[in-house]
Structure 1
Amino acid sequence: MAILERKVTNNVAHLTLNAPGRLNALSDEMILILHKALDEIAETKSIRAVILSGSGKAFCAGHDLKQMTAGRQNPDGGRGYFADLFNRCASMMARIQSLPQPVIAQVHGIATAAGCQLVATCDMAIAASDTRFGVNGVNIGLFCSTPMVALTRNIARKHAFEMLTTGKFIDAARAETLGLINRAVPPEDLETETKALADLVASKLGSAVKIGKQAFYDQIAMPTDAAYAFTGNVMVENMLDRDTEEGIAAFLGKRDPRWEQ
């Protein structure tokens, strides 16, 4: 059984974490195969959006604690393995945001620790209304320091700090209010709502979305003046794109655009 299922429908790739017996934990194998799948999608121009979901009862329960515990048997007590694990996981998370295509998390059940980090890392997220979210490592004595990076770039710092230090879970309605997800929907509507969003994104000009996604993340870390200067140059390049010229002409001519990409 493949631990990551893949399918492509109408320019949308759907990746499903498929280790339900381990609550789709981010094991060494899962991190590797997910990163590889993302690299392959990045090179596939026909794919314009990505959905990331989990099989079974949960979206993702974070790192594989059994695997991490086994790493302690190494001569250094696990120091090298742990450093490598967190670096590999961070690289995979970064790949999601450097991907040309927008990535939408389709979340159900629970998304905890690095699983919550995965939700926060995705460009957008839709969750079933009965989903619970947590960065609950502190409950077992492990502060969720790496998940904290993505979490604090999604929600206000006081709310993030409360989640990190108490280990308490929040429901989907609260996650929506805080900005961790785009919206919560009835469980029976989760797949349909996520697919509708992905299809809408995939219907746009791929080159424009690619340019925009990269600029979105680049400008966030800049001061306002620098961000305007940077994005002004991005828009110049976007305007010079042949398909953008066609899109504007089609709009003015009240017709559908004839895009090449």
Structure 2
Amino acid sequence: MPGREENLLLSDLDSGGVLVLTMNRPEAYNALSVDLIHALTGAVRAAMENRDVRVIVLRGAGRGFSAGHDLAEVLSFESDDEHRALLESCAAMMQLLDSCPKPVIAAIHGSAFAAGCQLVATVDLAFAEETARFSTPGVNIGLFCSTPMVALSRAVSSKRSLRMLLTGAPISAAEAAAIGLINEAVPSERLDETVMSVAREIASKSSYVVQLGKAAFKAQKGMELADAYSYCNEVVVENLKARDASEGISAFLEKRDPEWSDS
């Protein structure tokens, strides 16, 4: 097992409640080592418990977002159990990001390959430089991107995801936006501005309402249409009990800015 690295993940929380997590393995293109996966998992769990955190932004240091799993580390493992532990910890991290009650936004520059592309497909919103590239290239090295496929196939259509998976060919940020893998491709000099503007806009809302809404969105997607409406009707009934619902409606009618209590 490789030795534990220091400062794998940089963390910065601004006064508006936007937490920026920067994967900090630039020499390895922010490859998802066991230690980095554990660092990300711990940081997201801590953010979920921190009332000051309203939105999480995920980015990479150095030349790009993330190259995926650390292949040198993968080859260093000598047993199925080690491989299984790596994959299970990564899957758990991806599921934690998906279920995190606070919105998670990715800012992508350079490349997001394999499990790095999986991260992009997993988070709630994603914005990329126009020059960024995305791929699931495992087929090119004899190791099919089976686990990235889980997130990718849920983010974009079957034919789009299968083309990426079967060819391993990279797609541009413009194509990633067109197929719904990311929200928008922007000029490099505007990436941070765009991401932080969206993050701060979300952070300015009632965190109670944002978290309730994100959870409801995730829950209703897998339901039949009638069940989804029935479920969401109950979500609205519950939402109407919140102080922020009364405050928000009153502020709208009185033509003033709401003062959120996050409850």
Q: TM-score, normalization: structure 2?
A: 0.96
* 3-state DSSP of counterpart to 1:152: helix
Question: In 1, Cα distance between the equivalents of 2:217 and 2:143?
Answer: 32
Q: Match for residue 64 of structure 2?
A: 58
In structure 2, what residue type is equivalent to 1:172? A
Q: CA deviation at 1:258?
A: 2.2
Q: Over residues 17-51 of structure 1, what are the superposed CA-to-partner deviations in whole Å (9 max), with x where a residue is unaligned?
A: 00000100110000001000000000111211111
Q: Match for residue 3 of structure 2?
A: none
Q: Over residues 58-104 of structure 1, what are the superposed CA-to-partner deviations in whole Å (9 max), with x where a residue is unaligned?
A: 10000011111011x2xxxx211111111110110111121121000
Question: In 1, Cα distance between the equivalents of 2:228 and 2:83?
Answer: 36
Q: Match for residue 8 of structure 1?
A: 13
In structure 1, what residue type is equivalent to 2:11? R
Question: In 2, Cα distance between the equivalents of 1:191 and 1:6?
Answer: 16
In structure 1, what residue type is equivalent to 2:90? C
Contact 2:19 2:55 survives alignment (8 Å):
yes
* 3-state DSSP of counterpart to 1:60: coil
Contact 2:206 2:261 survives alignment (8 Å):
no
1:97-176 pair list within 5 angstroms = 97-176=98-177
* 3-state DSSP of counterpart to 2:155: coil
Question: In 2, Cα distance between the equivalents of 1:114 and 1:207?
Answer: 31
- Which of 68, 73, 77 is the aligned partner of 2:74? 68
Cα RMSD between the aligned structures? 0.8
- Which of 5, 14, 17 is the aligned partner of 2:23? 17
In structure 2, what residue type is equivalent to 1:13? L
In structure 2, what residue type is equivalent to 1:176? A
In structure 2, what residue type is equivalent to 1:236? V
What percentage of aligned pairs have identical amino acids?
45
Q: Over residues 211-252 of structure 1, what are the superposed CA-to-partner deviations in whole Å (9 max), with x where a residue is unaligned?
A: 011111111111111111111111111111011111101101
In structure 1, what residue type is equivalent to 2:195? T
Q: Does 1:178 align with 2:163?
A: no
Which consecutive residues of structure 2, in runs of 5 or more, have no partner in the other structure? 1-5
In structure 2, what residue type is equivalent to 1:129? E
Q: TM-score, normalization: structure 1?
A: 0.96
Which consecutive residues of structure 1, in runs of 5 or more, have no partner in the other structure? none
Question: In 1, Cα distance between the equivalents of 2:253 and 2:125?
Answer: 31
- Which of 21, 32, 36 is the aligned partner of 1:30? 36
* 3-state DSSP of counterpart to 2:162: helix
In structure 1, what residue type is equivalent to 2:8? I
Q: Over residues 78-136 of structure 1, what are the superposed CA-to-partner deviations in whole Å (9 max), with x where a residue is unaligned?
A: 21111111111011011112112100000010000000000000100000000000011
Q: Does 1:223 align with 2:224?
A: yes
Of 224-233 and 117-126, more deviation after overlay is shown by 224-233
Question: In 2, Cα distance between the equivalents of 1:204 and 1:258?
Answer: 9
* 3-state DSSP of counterpart to 2:169: coil
Question: In 2, Cα distance between the equivalents of 1:253 and 1:245?
Answer: 12
Runs (4+) of structure 1 exceeding 4 A deviation are none
Q: Does 1:86 align with 2:92?
A: no
